[in-house]
Amino acid sequence: MTDLVSFVSTASPTASTSTASKMTLSNNFDTFLTILTAQIQNQDPLEPMDSTQFTQQLVQFSGVEQQIRSNQQLETLISATRSSAGASLSGYLGQQAEIASDSAQYSGDPINFLYSLPQNAASADLAILDSSGRTVFTAEGAAEAGRHGFTWNGQTSSGAEARPGVYTLRISAKTSAGDPISAEQAVLANITGVDLTHGEPALTTPVGIFSYSDIRRLTRT
């Protein structure tokens, strides 16, 4: 099996924002103390410095530090919640998922697509497009209202096997008057793992890594 393609949001940065902010604050505070010490040592005894200004700055530094600590605690809470979500999602392993997606990763095994028509259509043409938007396979689909399955085995219209990559099912359904009919699409795949490296919990399947929020139905196989 080739590497899986991700259909979820980009992973969060390794270093947390609050950690980076704390480092910046620490450097700025050290610089502030260095400058303040130099000013005190070189002040004019006849016109001593006004302590009000640097006292206010110290208060501001303290407020920023408290905010950064609150952010760190919030990040810890989010991390714990994510781990808890991962543990609960582990119960989905081995189940078949219906995923709200019109695209999937082809790696040699057939891809099981689903589509639903809200009404009877005069025609329903199916097309498989590669990642460049080129049509590699076409077929005539079921035109009756309701849910329909379509399994693409990876063959192109010329009979050759498609290269591994991301492929999209496009449905062109029309009424007898030629008006387009919108089809709801999905992919059927078995859940093989849980991925917590993205910004939200995700589920690993042989046809990609999908966001948990895109899962419509689960069925035990």
- Average pLDDT of the chain? 79
Percentage of the chain modeled with pLDDT above 90: 47
The 3-state DSSP class for residue 129 equals strand
Residue 85: is its pLDDT beyond 70? no
pLDDT in tens, 141-169: 999 999 999 999 999 999 999 999 999 99
- Choose among 102, 172, 108, 163: nearest CA to 136: 163
Residue owning tokens 């999908």: 210
Whole-number Å distance between alpha carbons of 77 and 98: 30
Please state, in angstroms and rounded to a whole number, the distance separating the CA atoms of residues 128 and 114: 13
Q: Is the pLDDT of residue 68 over 70?
A: no
Q: How confident is the model at residue 4, as a pLDDT? A: 46
Q: Which long-range contacts (CB under 8 A, 24 or more apart) does 151-158 make?
A: 151/110, 151/111, 151/112, 151/113, 152/106, 152/110, 152/111, 152/113, 152/128, 153/110, 154/106, 154/108, 154/109, 154/110, 154/111
Average pLDDT over residues 126-141: 96
